[in-house]
Structure 1
Amino acid sequence: MFDPFKNFDQAGYLQNRYGEKDPEIVRQLEHTLFRAGLDDALAHVAKRRTLYYNDFLTVHRILFSEFYPWAGDDRAVTAPDIAVKKGDTLFCHPLDSRRAVEEGLRIGQDKAALQQHSGEVMGWFAYGHPFLDGNGRTMLIIHSELCHRAGFCIEWQRTRKADYLTALSAEISSPGRGHLDRYLQNFIGASRDRCQWGGAIDGIQGLDGSIVQDTVDGEYSDARVVQKYQQFEMNRNHSISGRR
């Protein structure tokens, strides 16, 4: 059970507004609210001339504030001392989440770079993992807007979730080597009018729930955790300020 707040018995999953504990009900409520807020989230990014980290926070707040009181707050606020992972995939320190997402935005707002490195951009967003839940859906909206501005789209409805997650995990562990770029190249299509996005995004297979849930991997006050994550960073061998 993913319980970074350590109050599941009293407040339910991630302190949700309903105190809900049943994972299936949580999944259904999350996705219902995501669908309800999708058009507003898409409208927000469409009107922004340049996308910044705060737009990530705003999109998350639009999508999930009716369920999570902390929606729009990143891990630097909600869980600054806790290491989070998904399966064998580690995410960056909460205090580095902003820098990781901003690196993705830096590459993604260069149209030529995004056309070649759409997977790398998504990898930076995923590595940043700003939120305790709802990262994938938030990333998808921002990434879709960036691709639209660059003149193409990713036909996510043709992807297979398990294959995508395998490529994404490889991208996070070894960024800049084209793992996710190569996978997504198979699904690049012509850009679509924004009015068509809502139905297309809502219809993506597996969008309403993750195969593997996040877990708490320990606290950064634990020397073992610090050493493990430092080693992971060394193995990534990729700086946030630019490609190596």
Structure 2
Amino acid sequence: MFDPFKDFETAGYLRNRFYEKNLDIVREIEHTMFRAGLDDAINYLSQRQQLTYSDFKEVHKILFFEFYPWAGKDRYEIAPNLAISKANTQFCHPLDLERAVVEGLKIGHDKKQMAKRPGEVMGYFAYGHPFLDGNGRTMLIIHSELCHRAGFCIDWQQTKKMEYLSALSKEIASPGNNHLDSYLSNFIVPSRDRLEWGGSIGQVKGLDGSHEQDLVEGEYSNKEVLSKYREFELNRNK
């Protein structure tokens, strides 16, 4: 059970507003909130001249604040000493998560580079993993906005969930080596009007939360946890 706050029995999954513990119900509510806030999030981003890390947090808040009172606050704010992983993939230290996302945004703001490296951009976002939940949905909307500004879009509905996640895991572990760029290149199509995004993004496979949970490895003050993180980071930067 992913329980970083260690109060699941009294506060429900991730301290949600309804104290809900049933994960099937939690995922259903999350996806309902996501669908309800999707148009507002897209409209918000369309009005931003240049996207920043603060916009990441604002989109997350728009999508999930009605369910999670901490929505819009990142791991550095609410879990600064916890090492988080998923399926043997280590996410970055909370101290570095903003820097990882900003690196992705830096590439994404260059239209030519975004067209060449959309997978690398997504990889940086995913490695940053700013939030305790809702990262995939938040990243997808912001990534779609960057693609739109670069003059193309990714037909996410045609991607295969497990193939995509496999390529994303490789991208996180070994950034800039074309793992996710190569996969996504098969689904690049001409840009679509933002008004069409709601239906297409909302139907992307896997966004209903039916996937492997995050794992709390422990606190970075634990030598074994810190050693495992450093080993992953070292291999990642080779």
What TM-score do you get using the length of structure 1 for normalisation?
A: 0.96
**Which ranges of 4 or more aligned residues in structure 1 deviate by more than 6 Å?**
none
| Alignment partner of 1:123 is 2:123 | yes
CA–CA separation in structure 2 for the residues paired with 1:57 and 1:87: 25
Distance 1:182 1:81 in 2: 35
Decide whether the 8 Å contact of 2:27 with 2:210 is kept in 1: no
Residue 210 of structure 1 deviates from its aligned partner by: 3.9
**CA displacement, residues 53-107 of structure 1 (integer Å, 9 cap, x when unaligned):** 0000000000000000000000001110100001111100011110000000000
User: Counterparts in 2 of 1:197-216, with a 5 A limit?
Assistant: 197-216=197-216
Find the aligned partners of 2:215 and 2:237 in 1 and give their Cα distance.
24
Q: Does 1:175 align with 2:175?
A: yes
Distance 1:59 1:6 in 2: 26
Residue aligning to 2:69: 69
AA paired with 1:32? T
Instruction: Return 226-235 or 140-149, whichever deviates more.
Output: 226-235
Give yes or no for the alignment of 1:114 onto 2:93.
no
Alignment of 1:13-92 (within 5 A): 13-92=13-92
1:133, 1:203 → 2: CA distance?
A: 19
- May I ask how many residue pairs the two structures share in their alignment? 238
Secondary structure of 1:218's partner? strand
Q: What is the alpha-carbon distance in structure 2 between the residues aligned to residue 170 and residue 177 of structure 1?
A: 9
After TM superposition, the structure 1 = structure 2 runs for residues 224-235 of structure 1, keeping only pairs within 5 Å, are 224-235=224-235
TM-superposition CA deviations, 1:100-153 (whole Å, max 9, x none): 000000001111111110000000000000000000000000000000000000
Structure 1 stretches lacking a partner, 5+ long = 239-244
Alignment check: 8 A CA contact 2:37 2:63 kept: yes
Which residue is 2:7 aligned to? 7
Identity of matched residues, %: 65
Range moving further from structure 2, 52-61 or 210-219: 210-219
SS of the residue 2:83 aligns to: strand
Paired residue for 1:241? Answer: none
Give the match for residue 144 of structure 2: 144
Deviation by residue 1:144-197 (Cα, 9 ceiling, x = unmatched): 000000000000000011100000000000001000000000000000001101
Measured in 2, the distance between the counterparts of 1:220 and 1:67 equals: 29
Give the whole-Å Cα distance in 2 for the aligned partners of 1:183 and 1:115: 13
Q: Quick one: which amino acid aligns to residue 228 of structure 2? A: K
1:105 aligns with 2:105: yes
Using the alignment, how far apart are the partners of 1:202 and 1:107 within structure 2?
Answer: 26
Tell me the equivalent position of 1:187.
187
Describe the superposition over 1:15-48 as per-residue Cα deviations: whole angstroms up to 9, x where unpaired: 0000000000000000001111001000010000
Residue 94 (structure 2) aligns with: 94
Distance 2:223 2:60 in 1: 32
Q: Counterpart amino acid of 2:87? A: G
